[in-house]
């Protein structure tokens, strides 16, 4: 009688132990999305990937030059926890705040979502923009 080969791994006894930490009871809870903040001309730009998030369910606030993006993802599928082999896509509520690098005109901010990337464009406050001063010759 022939048996199939069993791949031996020195970590084999610890595989199930590792799974406890990878898929603990804390999975599926809050998460913090990544964020890029940069400037373009007279604007501060903030981009954050929010795949699977309905843009209409995202809240964006700017107060005292602090931008906060928050919302919630919704699980579209009814999959039992024990049926997962691996669960890495985060679900649940999220919130991310960042201190903007300069004063901005919060009331003129605009946001749009394209291909799962939320982009917030915020004009810089006038006092931040460089002013060119001409030298008068007498």
For residue 44, the SS3 value is: strand
For the chain, list the strands marked E by DSSP: 36-40, 43-49, 59-63, 66-72, 93-99, 110-114, 117-123
Among candidate residues 88, 34, 94, 87, the one with its CA nearest the CA of residue 60? 94
CATH number reported for the structural domain that contains residue 52 in this entry = 2.60.40.790
The secondary structure element, H or E, covering residue 20 is helix 15-22
The answer on pLDDT for 19 being more than 70 is: no
Tokens standing for residue 10 = 């020195």
Which of the given ranges, 1-5, 40-44, 87-91, 124-128, has the highest pLDDT on average? 40-44
Quick one: pLDDT at residue 107? Answer: 96
The residue behind tokens 């606030």 is 61
| Structural domain includes residue 3 | no
Domain extent, residue 111, equals 29-78+86-127
With left for phi above 0 and alpha for psi between -120 and 50, is residue 41 left, alpha or beta?
A: left
Lowest mean pLDDT among 4-13, 46-55, 80-89: 4-13
Count structural domains, the chain. 1
| Structural domain includes residue 4 | no
| Structural domain includes residue 136 | no
Answer yes or no: pTM beyond 0.95.
Answer: no
Lowest mean pLDDT among 11-15, 122-126, 133-137: 11-15
**pLDDT over 70, % of the chain:** 75
| Structural domain includes residue 40 | yes
| Structural domain includes residue 9 | no
| Structural domain includes residue 21 | no
Among candidate residues 29, 106, 38, 111, the one with its CA nearest the CA of residue 73? 29
Mean pLDDT in residue range 120-133: 84
| Structural domain includes residue 116 | yes
| Structural domain includes residue 1 | no
């Amino acid at each position: 009688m022939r048996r199939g080969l069993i791949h031996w791994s020195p970590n084999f006894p610890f595989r199930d132990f590792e799974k406890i930490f990878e898929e603990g009871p804390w999975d599926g809870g809050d998460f913090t999305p990544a964020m890029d903040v940069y400037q373009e001309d007279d604007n501060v730009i903030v981009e954050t990937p929010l795949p699977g998030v309905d843009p209409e369910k995202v809240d964006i606030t700017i107060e005292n030059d602090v931008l906060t993006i928050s919302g919630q993802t919704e699980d579209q599928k009814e999959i039992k926890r024990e049926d997962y082999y691996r669960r890495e896509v985060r679900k649940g509520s999220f919130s991310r705040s960042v201190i903007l690098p300069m004063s901005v005109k919060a009331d003129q901010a605009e946001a749009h979502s394209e291909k799962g990337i939320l982009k917030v464009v915020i004009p810089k406050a006038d006092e931040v923009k460089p002013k060119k001063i001409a030298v008068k010759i007498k």
